Amino acid sequence: MKSKPLRLLLVGGARPNFMKIAPLLRALRARPARFIPRLVHTGQHYDAAMSDVFFTEFGLPEPDLHLGAGSATHAVQTARIMESFEKVLLAEPPDWVIVVGDVNSTVACSLVASKMSPPVPVAHVEAGLRSRDRAMPEEINRIITDSLSDLLFTTSADADRNLRAEGIDRRRIHRVGNLMIDTLRRHLRSADGAAVMREHGIVRPYALLTLHRPSNVDDPDVLRRIFVALEEVGKDLPIIFPVHPRTLSALGRFGLGGGNDRNGSAVRRIQPLGYLDFLHLQKRAALVLTDSGGIQEETSILGVPCLTLRDNTERPVTITHGTNRLVGTDPHRIVAAARQALRRPGRRKRTIPLWDGRAAGRIVQVFARIQEKGR
Ligand code: UD1
């Protein structure tokens, strides 16, 4: 007898989730006899610029469910998502919950699923990443989510090792590659046509900057140090800075952060960008400065030098195999590393095993085997 299709509930909540969900949802929807995927949006990010634009660009369907969590403290945001997600699971329990990344939505929904009676099994995409910095809210989210997950999809060998060291059964771990890079490869050509440079009057060479980690933007001393470095690097080339909403409010509070246009500062603030515009700018940047996780991965594949303004990374493969360098927040170190990178212009082509645009297909294979067994 043929097994029933698997009912899979995918969870997305914040900007970096949508790049991972899009290729997976597409691959699952292509096999309707085997899978019934549904998408729940927790509403952790809710702005047009932080959420809606990605649905349009990736051709993602409207979410089947919207939890409308919104912004709040960690406890309140996580609790709101948990309360409403429990109702979703009670009303219509799926065969699996699939969570991605390390945001509050990821941990909230894993926790709810694993405490249902009977538990709903959880699959975690991008499992095993560890910065070993527990002051980072994402690190707490990663550790808890992985400890609760029944299936752990990893992007690199270091992630497998981290999970094994935490006692996770190797049969649960599947190294599949990187969904973020599936999305990057799929959209690289269309991003070439993006009008962002013309629209904002950006000319090469330029550096591209993103900042949003609480450890960098919520502490005025750290943020001030970073801007000392940026003004110095900005003497060599303009720095384009699409500003995350968290960072915008911090800059306002501390009276920092360059100008929104030509007011003398080399740091040029613009609105948060859509995926295609941002990819267009990343690919053409002489240098990227960031504290984002995903951008360390994307620059590695694009071959663009990346300076990570943090003391640690949960993505060491971007250093060993990619273009990433950890430079912390000391102004001298940032400026020296930037000048060094700019002395050697040109792209540095890199490959990372399994970051080939086919991660979604590998994940679907794993679920297809589960579906055949009739679970
Ligand atoms: C979250 C994730 C982080 C991820 C980042 C990408 C957690 C713990 N952190 O951080 O891992 O890298 O998203 O963006 O889950 N805001 C808006 N509009 C929005 C969303 C947020 O204005 O659509 C503002 C709110 O003022 C909010 C602030 O941004 O207070 C922070 O949002 P929040 O979701 O709490 O965390 P992020 O800093 O975005």
Residues with CB under 6 A from ligand 1: 14-16, 44-47, 50-51, 71, 102-104, 137-138, 212, 244-246
Ligand 1: which atom is nearest the Cα of residue 44? 34
Ligand 1: which atom is nearest the Cα of residue 293? 12
Which residue has 């989510």 as its token pair?
Answer: 145
Quickly list H helices, the chain: 15-29, 53-58, 74-91, 104-114, 137-148, 157-165, 179-192, 196-200, 214-217, 220-233, 245-254, 275-284, 293-302, 317-320, 331-343, 359-372
Low-confidence ranges of the chain (pLDDT < 50): 261-262
> Candidates 17, 45, 74, 223: which one to mutate for ligand 1, based on the most atoms within 8 Å of Cβ?
45
Burial status of residue 5 (CB atoms within 10 A of its CB: 0-12, 13-18, 19 or more) = middle
Contact 311, 326 (CB under 8 A): yes
Ligand 1: which atom is nearest the Cα of residue 292? 12
In angstroms, what is the span from residue 370 Cα to ligand 1's centroid?
Answer: 34
Residue among 132, 310, 356 nearest 217 (CA): 310
> Candidates 19, 44, 134: which one to mutate for ligand 1, based on the most atoms within 8 Å of Cβ?
44
Residue among 61, 153, 62, 64 nearest 106 (CA): 153
Q: Of 41, 45, 124, 212, which residue is the catalytic one?
A: 212
| pLDDT tens string 282-297 | 999 999 999 999 999 9
Map residue 373 onto helix, strand or coil. coil
| pLDDT tens string 252-274 | 999 886 655 445 678 999 999 99
| pLDDT tens string 296-337 | 999 999 999 999 999 999 999 999 999 999 999 999 999 999
State how beta strands 287-290 and 306-308 pair.
parallel
| pLDDT tens string 92-119 | 999 999 999 999 999 999 999 999 999 9
Contact 312, 133 (CB under 8 A): yes
Nearest-CA residue for atom 19 of ligand 1: 45
Ligand 1: which atom is nearest the Cα of residue 102? 11
Active site annotation includes 212: yes
Entry pTM? 0.96
Map residue 79 onto helix, strand or coil. helix
Cα(273)–Cα(302) distance, integer angstroms: 18
Nearest-CA residue for atom 29 of ligand 1: 246
